[in-house]
Structure 1
Amino acid sequence: MSDTGPEGTAPRAASVGRAGPRPAAAGAGQERAGIRLARPDVGEAELAAVADVLATGQLTMGPQVEAFEAGLAHAVGTAEAVAVSSGTAAIHLALLALGIGEGDEVIVPAYTFPATANAVELCRGRAVLVDVDPETFLARPELVAEAVTRRTRAVLAVHLFGRPVEWEELQTAVPQEVVLLEDAAGALGATYRGTSCGALGLMGCLSFHPRKIVTTGEGGAVTTDEAELAGAVRRLRHHGITAGGFDIPAPGLNYRLADVLCALGIPQLERLDALLDARERVAGWYTERLEPLVGTPGASEGDRHGWQAYVVTLDRRDEALAGLRAEGIEAQIGTYAVNRLSAYRDRGAFPGADAAFARALALPFAATLTEDDVDRVTTALARFV
Structure 2
Amino acid sequence: MTAPIRLARPDVGEAELRAVAEVLGSGQLTMGPKVGEFECAVAGAVGTRDAVAVANGTAALHLALLALGVGPGDEVVVPAYTFPATANAVRLCGAEAVLVDVDPETFVVDAEAVADAVTSRTRAVMAVHLFGRPVDWDALRAVVSERVLLVEDAAGALGARSRGRPCGSLGVAGCLSFHPRKIVTTGEGGAVTTDDPEIAAAVRRLRHHGIVADGTNDIPVPGFNYRLADVLCALGIPQVERLEELLAGRERAASWYAERLGDVVGTPSAAEGDRHGWQAYVVRVDRRDELLAALRAEGIEVQIGTYALHRLGAYRDQGAFPGAQRAYERALALPFAATTTEDEVDRVCTALLGRLGRS
TM-score range, shorter chain: over 0.9
CA distance in 2, matches of 1:308, 1:238: 29
- In structure 1, what is the equivalent of residue 343 of structure 2? 372
Residue 68 of structure 1: which of 23, 27, 38 is its match? 38
Residue 188 of structure 1: which of 152, 158, 162 is its match? 158
**1:282, distance to aligned residue in structure 2 (A):** 0.3
Judge conservation of contact 1:316–1:384 (CA < 8 Å) in 2: no
Root-mean-square deviation (CA, aligned residues, Å) is 0.6
Instruction: Give the letter for the 2:24 counterpart.
Output: L
CA distance in 1, matches of 2:145, 2:355: 45
- In structure 2, what is the equivalent of residue 36 of structure 1? 6
1:72 partner SS: helix
- In structure 1, what is the equivalent of residue 306 of structure 2? 335
CA distance in 2, matches of 1:232, 1:375: 48
- In structure 2, what is the equivalent of residue 165 of structure 1? 135
1:117 partner SS: helix
The runs of 5 or more residues in structure 2 that have no matched partner are none
Judge conservation of contact 1:40–1:215 (CA < 8 Å) in 2: yes
Cα-to-partner distance string for 1:188-220 (whole Å, 9 max, x where unaligned): 000001100000000000000000000001000
- In structure 2, what is the equivalent of residue 16 of structure 1? none
Instruction: Give the letter for the 1:333 counterpart.
Output: I
State whether structure 2 residue 80 is matched by structure 1 residue 110.
Answer: yes
Identical amino acids, percent of aligned pairs:
74
**1:316, distance to aligned residue in structure 2 (A):** 1.4
Cα-to-partner distance string for 1:34-76 (whole Å, 9 max, x where unaligned): 0000000002111111010011110111100000000000000
Cα-to-partner distance string for 1:102-127 (whole Å, 9 max, x where unaligned): 11000000000000000000100000
CA distance in 2, matches of 1:37, 1:197: 24
Residue 363 of structure 1: which of 334, 339, 349 is its match? 334
Q: Structure 1: which 4+ aligned runs deviate by more than 6 Å?
A: none
Judge conservation of contact 1:319–1:384 (CA < 8 Å) in 2: no
- In structure 2, what is the equivalent of residue 83 of structure 1? 53
Instruction: Give the letter for the 2:288 counterpart.
Output: R
CA distance in 2, matches of 1:179, 1:79: 18
The runs of 5 or more residues in structure 1 that have no matched partner are 1-30
- In structure 2, what is the equivalent of residue 58 of structure 1? 28
Residue 200 of structure 2: which of 230, 246, 261 is its match? 230
Q: How does 1:190-209 map to 2 (within 5 A)?
A: 190-209=160-179
- In structure 1, what is the equivalent of residue 16 of structure 2? 46
1:323 partner SS: helix
Judge conservation of contact 1:64–1:262 (CA < 8 Å) in 2: yes
- In structure 2, what is the equivalent of residue 322 of structure 1? 293
**1:173, distance to aligned residue in structure 2 (A):** 1.9
1:170 partner SS: helix
CA distance in 1, matches of 2:292, 2:95: 36
**1:244, distance to aligned residue in structure 2 (A):** 2.2
CA distance in 2, matches of 1:348, 1:44: 51
Judge conservation of contact 1:296–1:313 (CA < 8 Å) in 2: yes
CA distance in 2, matches of 1:259, 1:318: 41
**1:384, distance to aligned residue in structure 2 (A):** 3.1
CA distance in 1, matches of 2:48, 2:68: 18
Instruction: Give the letter for the 2:17 counterpart.
Output: L
CA distance in 2, matches of 1:380, 1:317: 14
- In structure 1, what is the equivalent of residue 282 of structure 2? 311
CA distance in 1, matches of 2:246, 2:114: 33
- In structure 2, what is the equivalent of residue 99 of structure 1? 69
State whether structure 2 residue 98 is matched by structure 1 residue 128.
Answer: yes
CA distance in 1, matches of 2:68, 2:344: 45
**1:383, distance to aligned residue in structure 2 (A):** 2.3
Q: How does 1:261-276 map to 2 (within 5 A)?
A: 261-276=232-247
CA distance in 1, matches of 2:277, 2:355: 27
